[in-house]
Amino acid sequence: MKKILTLIVLLAIVWAVPALRNRIGLAAVPVLEKLGPAGEKAANPFRRWEARNELSFYLRMMNDDRTEARALPDERDFSEWVRRRMPEETGIDPWGGSYWLRRRGNEYIVGSNGPDGVRDTPDDVTQSATM
């Protein structure tokens, strides 16, 4: 019990201080995964943070393409666009699923299915921008 409380306090400190979260958070995920289901659950805030950052990056790249008059991806070729536009990116979210794109008029929504792996559920991670 003492170990769990210590872990929770350390995670709270890391999460509360952005500089620590950036530096330590993602490195802590493999350690947390080894703790079983409780560790997996404790790693999800770090994974959500990582997914939001990647999704924001994808939207910035899409905005760059729009500004430079390049074609924007559509829902069907989003994964291919990620691989072509950013060869260093995998297009895979922190839970092992593919990122996706949805377009509603001028609004582009990029997302991850989150920990449950099912799209359009409350645990999805999404970012959107109007282009």
CB neighbour list of residue 94: distance below 8 Å, 6 or more residues apart: 29, 46, 47, 48, 50, 51, 112
Say whether 80 sits in a helix, a strand or coil: helix
Q: What is the average per-residue pLDDT within 90-102?
A: 95
* Spans of all domains in the chain: 2-130
| Cα four-point dihedral sign 9, 10, 14, 17 | positive
Fold of 2-130: Glycoprotein, Type 4 Pilin (3.30.700)
| Percent of the residues in the chain that have a pLDDT greater than 90, as a whole number | 58
Report the predicted TM-score, pTM, of the whole model to 2 decimal places. Answer: 0.75
